[in-house]
Amino acid sequence: MNGDAQQEQMEAMKKIVLNSILTKEAKERLGRLKLVKPDLAAQLELYLIQIYQSGKMEGQVTDEQLKTILEMLSPGKEFSIRKK
């Protein structure tokens, strides 16, 4: 398996995991975050997958929980988190 195919497979697996652990609102927030801060979104995705794989996750991650995780991942940065 070459690098591109392996990368595509990893992305597909990541998407499946994220779709199963995030609520609809949390998925929407992650999508918007990817547009504005792709590096932070990638860091958040990695963190979510790690806690999922470690078995520390109970239920789905809500939008409120996602906001809390974002604040934890970027200490010292001010965010304007607004609900539509």
Question: Can you tell me the distance from the alpha carbon of 62 to that of 24, in angstroms, rounded to the nearest whole number?
Answer: 8
Residues 6+ apart with CB under 8 A from 34: 41
- Report the first-to-last Cα separation within the chain, whole angstroms: 43
Q: What angle do CA 41, 59, 84 make, to 5 degrees?
A: 50
Structure-token pair, residue 59:
């239920």
At 75, is the pLDDT very low, low, confident or very high (cuts 50, 70, 90)?
A: confident
At 78, is the pLDDT very low, low, confident or very high (cuts 50, 70, 90)?
A: low
Question: Can you tell me the distance from the alpha carbon of 7 to that of 14, in angstroms, rounded to the nearest whole number?
Answer: 10
pLDDT score for 7: 87
At 11-64, the pLDDT tens digits run 888 899 899 999 999 999 999 999 999 999 999 999 999 999 898 888 899 999
Beta-bridge partner residues of 22: 61
